Structure 1
Amino acid sequence: QTEGLASICFRRTMGNPFFLLEFVKLLEEEGLLYFHLGLLQWKWDEVEIETRTASTENVVDLLQHKMEKLSKEAQEFLQCAACLGASFEIETIEIVWQHQQVIYVDSSAAETGTEELLATIVEQNYLEKPEKSKYRWVHDNVQQAASFLIEEESHASFRRSIGKVLHRELSKNKLDACLFEVAKLLNADITGVTNVEYAKINLMAAEKARDISVFDKCSNYASKGISMLPSDKWDSHPEMAVKLYSLAAEAERFLGRHSQMDIYCR
Structure 2
Amino acid sequence: MPPNDCGDDHYVAGAHGTVAEQTDEAYYDDRSDADDDMEKGRIKFPQNKLYGRDRELETLRNIFYQGLSSEETQDGCVVEMPEQASRVVFLSGYSGVGKSALVKEFVKQVQAQQKMNKSSSESVLHFSGKYSEQSSAAAPFSAISDLFSQMTHALSRKKSDKEGNELQSKILNDIGSSGLLAANADGDRVLRGTFPVLAALLDASRPNDSNNKSEEGGGGAPSMNAVKESVHELLSIISGPLKRPLILFLDDLQWADAPSLDLLSFLLSTDAQMKNVMFICAYRSNEVGQDHPFASIMDNVKESMKDDVQLVETVDLFSLSQDVITQFIAVSIGKEEEVEEVTELAEVVYQKTMGNIFCVMQAMEELVRKNALYYDMMCFEWRWAVSKVELSTTISDDVVETVKGKIKELSSEIQYMLIVMAYVPNTLEVPVLTELMKRNSVSLDESRVAELLKKATEEALLMYSAESDNYIFIHDRIREASRGSIADEDKDDLLLHLSLVLQKLAKGPETEWCLFVAVDLLNSLPSEKTNCNDLARLNMRVSVIARNRGIVEKQSELLHEGFSA
TM-score, structure 1 length as denominator? 0.69
Q: Which amino acid aligns with 1:77?
A: M
For 1:224, the aligned partner's letter is E
1:137 aligns with: 473
CA distance in 2, matches of 1:48, 1:120: 32
Does the alignment pair 1:100 with 2:439?
yes
- Look up the match of 1:223: 560
User: Paired residue for 1:5?
Assistant: 345
Q: Which residue of 1 aligns with 2:394?
A: 52
- The letter for the 1-side match of 2:452 is L
**Paired residue secondary structure (2:392):** helix
Runs of 4+, deviation exceeding 6 Å: 37-40
* Contact 2:373-2:383 within 8 A present in 1 as well: yes
Q: How far apart are 1:135 and its partner, in Å?
A: 2.0
Compare relative contact order (CA 8 Å, sep 6+) and give the higher one, 1 or 2: 2
Is the CA contact (8 Å cut-off) linking 1:100 and 1:110 kept in structure 2? no
For residue 448 of structure 2, the aligned residue among 107, 113, 128 is: 113
Contact 2:502/2:514 (8 A) holds in 1: no
Q: Tell me: CA distance 1:86–1:138, structure 2 relative to 1, closer, same or farther (3 Å).
A: farther
Q: Secondary structure at the match of 2:383?
A: strand
More helix by share: 1
- The answer on whether the counterparts of 1:202 and 1:224 sit within 8 Å (CA) in structure 2 is yes
- Distance in 2, matches of 1:38 and 1:212, equals 67
* 1:172 Cα deviation after fit: 2.8
Q: Following TM superposition, by how much is the alpha carbon of 1:58 offset from its aligned partner in structure 2, in angstroms?
A: 1.3
Deviation at 1:15, TM superposition (A): 2.8
Residue type of the alignment partner of 1:183: V
- How far residue 57 of structure 1 moved from its aligned partner, in angstroms, is 1.7
| Greater mean deviation of Cα atoms: 30-39 or 79-88 | 30-39
Residue of structure 1 in register with 2:538 after alignment:
201
List per-residue Cα deviations over 1:145-179 (Å, max 9, x = no partner). 01111102332332122111211244234531344
Cα offset for 1:222? 2.7
Matches within 5 A, 1:72-91: 72-85=412-425, 87-91=427-431
Tell me which amino acid in the other structure corresponds to 2:540.
L
Distance 1:62 1:86, change over 3 A: farther
> Could you tell me how far 1:3 is from its partner in structure 2?
4.9
The answer to whether residue 491 in structure 2 is matched with residue 152 in structure 1 is no
Q: Give 1:15's aligned residue.
A: 355
Deviation, 1:194, is 4.0
Aligned-residue offset at 1:109: 4.3
Aligned residue for 2:518?
182
Aligned-residue identity in percent? 25
Flag the 1:32–1:218 CA change in 2: closer, same or farther, 3 A.
Answer: farther
Q: Is the CA contact (8 Å cut-off) linking 1:202 and 1:222 kept in structure 2?
A: yes
User: Does the CA contact (< 8 Å) of 2:419 and 2:482 recur in 1?
Assistant: yes
Tell me the distance in 2 between the aligned counterparts of 1:225 and 1:72. Answer: 37
CA RMSD of aligned residues (A): 3.0
1:127 aligns with 2:462: yes
Gaps of 5+ in 2: 1-340
1:165 aligns with 2:507: no
Contact 1:60 1:144 survives alignment (8 Å): yes
> Which structure would you say has the larger Rg?
2
Q: CA deviation at 1:108?
A: 5.2
Give, as a single letter, the amino acid of the residue that structure 2 aligns with 1:100: R
Q: Distance in 2 between matches of 1:130 and 1:37?
A: 37
- Alpha-carbon deviation of 1:32? 1.8
Aligned length: 219
Cα deviation for residue 76 of structure 1 reads: 1.4
Say if 1:108 and 1:157 are closer, same or farther in 2 by CA, change over 3 A: closer
Alpha-carbon distance in 1 for matches of 2:473, 2:409: 19
**2: CA distance, partners of 1:130 / 1:114:** 17
Distance 1:6 1:214 in 2: 52
Q: Give TM-score, length-normalised by structure 2.
A: 0.35
Alpha carbons 1:64, 1:148 under 8 Å: kept: yes
2:476 and 2:448 mapped to 1: Cα distance?
Answer: 25
Q: Distance in 2 between matches of 1:86 and 1:11?
A: 35
Q: Distance in 1 between matches of 2:543 and 2:374?
A: 54
